[in-house]
Structure 1
Amino acid sequence: MADEDDLLPNGYRVIKGEGMNYMIYAMGRMKYLWGEDAEEFRPERWLVDGIFQQESPYKFISFNVSTT
């Protein structure tokens, strides 16, 4: 539930008291987030010159980071 009115980065308005949902499965396949090859398993997305590049675990909600 939203504690107060808010405006999301995409321009969507959330009104105080409204609930929000997201679909992790769908987000993991969105081409505008991952590129045209969104449905391909490509672990090299996180490699630069063969070296793993650490990202915030909160950046990729599909991996469901824990807060504990």
Structure 2
Amino acid sequence: MSVLDKLKNMLKGHESQVDKGVDKAGDKVDDRTQGKYTGQVDTAQDKLKGQYGSGGTSGTGQPPGPPQS
């Protein structure tokens, strides 16, 4: 069992706490970089929430989806 598998097992059932931690870490990065990489940070937050949290949102309260045309 890899470290990543162990981490996923530990986080099961704690999705809301994972989301809070990801948000807090992203906010810290935004503060430290003075918002220079906000778009990249938001993308990383969405991916982490999708993989380990409750599914993630794209900052709009909506789940990330395909680009609108």
TM-score band, normalised by shorter chain: 0.3 to 0.5
TM-score by length of structure 1 reads 0.32
Bigger radius of gyration: 1
User: Counting helix residues as a fraction of each chain, which structure ranks higher?
Assistant: 2
User: Counting strand residues as a fraction of each chain, which structure ranks higher?
Assistant: 1
Report 1 or 2 for greater relative contact order, CA contacts < 8 Å, sequence distance ≥ 6: 2
